[in-house]
Copies of this chain bind each other. A is one copy, B any other.
Amino acid sequence: MLVSQLLGMTPGKRDLISIDDLSNEEILGLFRYAEEFDGDLKAHAATCPGTILATLFFEPSTRTRLSFESAMLRLGGGVISATEGGTTSAAKGESLADTARIVGGRYADLIVLRHPDEGAAKVLADYAEVPVINGGDGGHEHPTQTLCDLYTLWKEKGHLSDLEVVLCGDLKHSRTIHSLISALARFDANIVCLPYEGFEIPSHVLERLERRWGSEIQRADVGDLPGISAGKDAVYVTPSRPHQQSLFTQLNAQVVQRIDAIYMTRSQRERQGDDDKGDGYMSLGPTQLKEKRFKETSILHPLPRVDEISYDMDRDRRAIYFRQAGNGVPIRMALLAFLLGKLKLGGAKPPRASKKPLYRSSHGLRCSHEVCICNREGRRYLISEFEVIEELPPLLACAYCGTEERPQFVGHRQSRKLHRANAAEATRIHVENRVYFRDRTAAVAAGFGEGL
């Protein structure tokens, strides 16, 4: 591939930047290994001798870091770790690209990165010779949390398809949720989004579910889930096929028979900014779960919790959030061993490469997302890169942070002619000659414009 050659990417190495970097088959294969590891966590110390994991945490997250480190040590490998911006070379101005080439050269055989900037993990992966795992990049992706969540559901329920899963809380800012919802949709689960009021799931996330996995999205009234959510704007996501028995009377006139799992999330105060409304967040406890349809409802939470799950829930057999946290170790053992080439997944195929064209350009359209790595340190060395999701009118998604852009104008790189984005002429320009512009002003400023 062109980009990998440009950057000197190592052919054949596998990274985990998004949960979509693993196929369903591979995910299920990892689950089976995780169960095996979990049987006796101490019995696998001969798996990776002399092998080193680097945990680079530019944002604190003890639990994620410790679970990765525990997983690597249990496999018999070693761990090197750098935490907090202040103690790393970053303080002297080192770019992620350089860190990737140094730490991901001879220092470590695998890197986990946590970083406040969205897309940071992709940058590290692009420049490192060794596999990179995204341990959370801002509000973007946190795929190993998703793996752990799916593994927990799979282990408890025996399957993922057809599960009725309710997602609660701050569905707007939680990256955990955005990854999870997509993964659940991939595995044909039914999902109810029950947001805390004002923290609804963003529409671009839902649109992506429709586009990507063919999910059907329906607005729903949550009148029959009293006590869990005060919000009205619930959403029901189902696979696009004859519906299973569904949750809501209002949706299909059937009474909900069961809810398999409720996934509660905390209020993401550090990302909410002005949205923060202080007290009054949701709270889940045994009193809200007395109805028969909650009898087998597993309660999950990515932890840490604040008060959104009450302490008297902890001793309820349906509360599996501590087991869920514990599952983080064996599933990460499986993932690490897999990326290090130590596991065979029985012929499981990797995900198919996207056929969408890539648009790369050092001028014209840039990602508009303020905390995208492109607009942070990446300004110094990254070229804008987008996946062209739709051609006419153009819809582009930033290759780093996934932010979608709808440029209004397209120019020809050589002739400098300019076209409206929804004009037929625009599509006739070969993708390598296209230069997208947000608006006419930007195009003219760049010396384009004769075509109109």
Contact = CB atoms under 8 A, between A and B. Distances in A.
A451 interface: no
Contacts of A42: 49-51, 109
A62 B44 contact: no
Nearest to A329: B106
Given A41-B50, A74-B50, A105 B322 contact: yes
B105 A82 contact: no
Contacts of A303: 89, 94, 98, 102
Contact of A66 (B94, B107, B270): B107
Given A80-B70, A107-B67, A93 B49 contact: no
Interface in A16-47: 38, 41-45
Interface string A41-70: 111110001111010000011110111011
Interface stretch (A245-253, A272-280, A304-312, A432-440): A304-312
Size class of the A contact interface (CB-based, 8 Å):
35 or more
B78 A52 contact: no
Closest 9 CB pairs of A and B: A73-B78, A94-B304, A45-B50, A42-B50, A106-B326, A105-B326, A106-B329, A45-B49, A62-B88
Contacts of A94: 303-305
A191 to B, nearest CB: 25
B69 A80 contact: yes
A419 to B, nearest CB: 32
B88 A80 contact: no
Interface of A: 6, 8, 38, 41-45, 49-52, 54, 60-63, 65-67, 69-70, 73-74, 76, 78-80, 82-84, 86-89, 91-94, 97-98, 101-103, 105-109, 266, 270, 303-306, 311, 315, 322-323, 325-330, 380-381
Nearest to A268: B92
22 contacts: A38-B106, A42-B49, A42-B50, A44-B50, A45-B49, A49-B76, A50-B74, A60-B86, A60-B87, A60-B89, A62-B87, A65-B82, A70-B106, A70-B108, A92-B266, A93-B304, A94-B303, A94-B305, A97-B311, A98-B322, A107-B328, A311-B381
Given A54-B66, A62-B88, A70-B107, 8 more contacts: A45-B49, A66-B103, A73-B79, A92-B304, A92-B306, A102-B303, A105-B323, A107-B326
A382 to B, nearest CB: 10
A44 to B, nearest CB: 7
Q: Residue among A44, A65, A89 with the most chain B CB within 10 A?
A: A89
Counted per complex, copies of this chain come to: 3
A248 B308 CA distance: 63
Nearest to A45: B50
A317 B277 CA distance: 55
Q: Residue among A84, A106, A311 with the most chain B CB within 10 A?
A: A106
B66 A311 contact: no
A380 B311 contact: yes
Contacts of A91: 60
Contacts of A98: 303-305, 322
B52 A107 contact: no
